[in-house]
Amino acid sequence: MKVVVLGSGVIGVACAYYLAQDGHEVTVIDRQPGPALETSYANAGEVSPGYSAPWAAPGLALKAIKWMLMPHSPLVIRPRIDPAMWAWGLQLLANCTEARYAVNKSRMVRLAEYSRDCLDALRQRTRISYDERTQGTLDMFRTQAQVDHAAADIAVLERSGVRYEMLDRDGCIRVEPALARVREKVAGGLLLPGDETGDCFKFTNRLAELAAESGVTFSYGRTIRALTFAGKHISGVETDQGMVTADAYVLALGSYSPKMLAPLGVKVPVYPVKGYSLTLPITDAAGAPESTVMDETHKVAVTRLGDRIRVGGTAELAGFDLDLHDKRRATLEHVVTDLFPDGGNVSQAEFWCGLRPNTPDGPPILGPCGYDNLHLATGHGTLGWTMGAGTGRVVADLVSGRTPEIDIEGLTVARYA
Ligand SMILES: Cc1cc2nc3c(=O)[nH]c(=O)nc-3n(C[C@H](O)[C@H](O)[C@H](O)COP(=O)(O)OP(=O)(O)OC[C@H]3O[C@@H](n4cnc5c(N)ncnc54)[C@H](O)[C@@H]3O)c2cc1C
């Protein structure tokens, strides 16, 4: 079957790779000159089933107010006249009950755990490398109140069957020895040993190379203008360089998916949530993190990626704005220099931002959408790298007419009906 994949972020490339493995004739279209040059470029590097949870959680509204008053706030809202933003925000608040949180989280963990296993299998099969490590995530607490509060998170982890270990200060230093240099800042931590790390950009580029070797055609520098359709059937993709037609289409346009789907009458509540990262060269390996340290106070992740440190965080609601703000950089610099003062050189850091394609409830949107030959792969929010391989496998199964290995209940657009 001829399949066109729209978008060459980690999600689109993973779909293309698995579709090619299934023997399809695949073309990927993207406006950028190569893969993973938008949101998949410099994320925090965590492949984190253990940290897979919706933002829409009980108590979020109060926490949000507290966060916004902090000097290095993890949350920034730029009030704007944007009905999509307010509608998305209200849907998010409606999902902040205990019951909704439990359902949404279990859907996310289902896909994230499966995805980590798909990634592992892919590594075994292809020897793909991307500065990966398999040493877990340390959620680091600076205060006793945070340690005490972890009981609620642990209960959820136990219900979801996610492995964890509660650590005291010395335990944290045992898994992340560089923290010994700032031991007075560490009150304890929650270790998620099943988590992994790696460079999403490198992974997506290597996977695109493997996909190309399997016959996938990549059409870069090509802007998609619209999907054309007759009844409930997609007839082609209109681009700035002419029409492209296929038997089936996979839409993986990240935050730009709703705009492409609106003329078809398909509503997906995906809204861009801007995040920032810094990537700095390691100057003293013993002073750098071993894996990911998540600073619970600032909600900033500090991750070792080969000979670099990636520092990622901040949730900013500002529409599609991609300006780099110094204040956000200051927050990331503060966290990395506070926890790993000798680890890397911030003056040589690359500063970046990207738009997470967030759904209000948390899980992404996969598969059917009412058009017989259009499949969705969007809305991965904070966890697109974590869920990339699994999404590719599930979508390829659906396009090929097979039942995916995991239940897709609650992972399709039907849940908003
Ligand atoms: C600061 C930050 C930290 C993060 N940390 C993590 C993390 O640690 N772990 C994790 O799992 N996730 C993380 N994420 C989330 C993750 O990066 C995203 O979920 C993921 O990259 C989304 O991938 P995607 O392929 O859906 O979107 P994208 O990577 O944005 O890909 C969409 C593609 O569509 C193309 N496109 C869009 N419109 C058009 C058009 N009209 N014509 C042609 N092409 C078009 C774009 O060029 C782009 O290449 C983080 C995100 C941010 C911002």
Torsion angle of alpha carbons 163, 169, 175, 177, nearest 10°?
170
Q: Nearest C-alpha to atom 21 of ligand 1 is from which residue?
A: 40
How high is the pLDDT of residue 64?
A: 86
Stretch 85-92: mean pLDDT: 94
Q: Is 278 in the pocket of ligand 1 (CB under 6 A)?
A: no
Q: Is 276 in the pocket of ligand 1 (CB under 6 A)?
A: yes
Stretch 112-116: mean pLDDT: 95
Q: Is 254 in the pocket of ligand 1 (CB under 6 A)?
A: yes
Stretch 289-298: mean pLDDT: 96
- 363-381, pLDDT tens digit by residue? 999 999 999 999 999 999 9
Q: How confident is the model at residue 85 (pLDDT cuts 50, 70, 90)?
A: very high
Question: Which residues have C-beta within 8 Å of that of residue 90, sequence separation ≥ 6?
Answer: none
- Ligand 1 centroid vs 5 CA: distance in angstroms? 15
Which of 65-69, 112-116, 303-307 is predicted with the least confidence, judged by mean pLDDT? 65-69
Q: Is 336 in the pocket of ligand 1 (CB under 6 A)?
A: no
Q: Is 52 in the pocket of ligand 1 (CB under 6 A)?
A: no
Instruction: Give me the CATH code for the 49-96+131-196+271-358 domain, please.
Output: 3.30.9.10
| Chain length of the chain | 417
Q: Is 357 in the pocket of ligand 1 (CB under 6 A)?
A: yes
How high is the pLDDT of residue 55?
A: 92
Q: Mean pLDDT over all residues of the chain? A: 96
Q: How confident is the model at residue 86 (pLDDT cuts 50, 70, 90)?
A: very high
Q: How confident is the model at residue 50 (pLDDT cuts 50, 70, 90)?
A: confident
| E strands in 99-212 | 137-141, 165-167, 188-192, 196-197
Rounded to whole angstroms, what are the CA distances from 153 to 94, 111, 135, 160?
A: 20, 19, 20, 11
Task: Decide if 337 contacts 346 (C-beta within 8 A).
Answer: yes
- Res 257 pLDDT > 90: yes
Q: Is 359 in the pocket of ligand 1 (CB under 6 A)?
A: no
- 205-220, pLDDT tens digit by residue? 999 999 999 999 999 9
d(CA 272, CA 82): 12
Percent of the chain at pLDDT exceeding 70 = 100
Residue in the structure block whose two tokens are 């492409």: 260
- Ligand 1 centroid vs 322 CA: distance in angstroms? 13
Helix (H) or strand (E) holding 76: strand 75-77
How high is the pLDDT of residue 81?
A: 84
Atom of ligand 1 nearest to the CA of 30: 44
Considering Cα of 109, then 114, then 120, then 123, what sign does the dihedral take? negative
How high is the pLDDT of residue 302?
A: 98
Q: Nearest C-alpha to atom 35 of ligand 1 is from which residue?
A: 7
Stretch 104-121: mean pLDDT: 95
- 154-166, pLDDT tens digit by residue? 887 888 788 999 9
How high is the pLDDT of residue 63?
A: 87
- Ligand 1 centroid vs 313 CA: distance in angstroms? 14
- 296-355, pLDDT tens digit by residue? 999 999 999 999 999 999 999 999 999 999 999 999 999 999 999 999 999 999 999 999
- Res 130 pLDDT > 80: yes
**Looking at domain 2-40+202-269+362-416, which of 3.50.50.60, 3.40.50.300, 3.40.50.620, 2.30.110.10 is its CATH number?**
3.50.50.60
Q: What burial class does residue 84 get, using C-beta atoms within 10 Å of its C-beta: 0-12 exposed, 13-18 middle, 19+ buried?
A: middle
- Ligand 1 centroid vs 32 CA: distance in angstroms? 12
Which of 119, 256, 276 for a ligand 1 pocket mutation test, highest count of atoms within 8 Å of Cβ? 256
- 402-413, pLDDT tens digit by residue? 999 999 999 999
Stretch 76-92: mean pLDDT: 90
Q: Is 38 in the pocket of ligand 1 (CB under 6 A)?
A: yes
- Res 77 pLDDT > 90: no
Helix (H) or strand (E) holding 311: strand 308-317
Q: How confident is the model at residue 29 (pLDDT cuts 50, 70, 90)?
A: very high
Listed by start position, the domains of the chain span 2-40+202-269+362-416, 49-96+131-196+271-358
Q: How confident is the model at residue 73 (pLDDT cuts 50, 70, 90)?
A: confident
How high is the pLDDT of residue 376?
A: 98
Task: Decide if 139 contacts 157 (C-beta within 8 A).
Answer: no
- Ligand 1 centroid vs 38 CA: distance in angstroms? 6
Atom of ligand 1 nearest to the CA of 32: 47
Which of 60-69, 140-149, 173-182, 277-286 is predicted with the least confidence, judged by mean pLDDT? 60-69
